[in-house]
Amino acid sequence: MKPKVPAPKQKLIDKDMTGYLARQDENVPLAAMDNQLVEMDRDYNVMLMERIESKKQLEAKFQDIQRKI
């Protein structure tokens, strides 16, 4: 007889967690990594907006110099 292998745990959706919340263990490292990914995504968006703004400023400087010439 083969030993019974437990099924892999899956994150329960909110409406299903009412009766099982006490049994659901939290994966702390995974939650921390998720927070890091959210922060990195936010930082990337800020860097992208700053890059676009820098390009606009550089283009405006170029246009200004071109008009002076």
Contact between 24 and 17 under an 8 Å Cβ cutoff? The reply is yes
Secondary structure (3-state) at 57: helix
Domains of the chain, residue spans? 26-68
Virtual torsion, Cα 36, 42, 45, 46, nearest 10 deg? -110
Report the length, in residues, of the chain. 69
Q: What's the rounded Cα separation, in Å, for the pair 11 and 35?
A: 17
| pLDDT at residue 40, as a whole number | 94
- Of 60 and 11, more confident: 60
Min mean pLDDT across 42-46, 60-64, 65-69 is at: 65-69
pTM of the model: 0.52
| pLDDT at residue 26, as a whole number | 74
pLDDT tens across 10-52, in order?
665 656 656 666 666 677 777 788 889 999 999 999 999 999 9
Q: What's the rounded Cα separation, in Å, for the pair 64 and 38?
A: 39
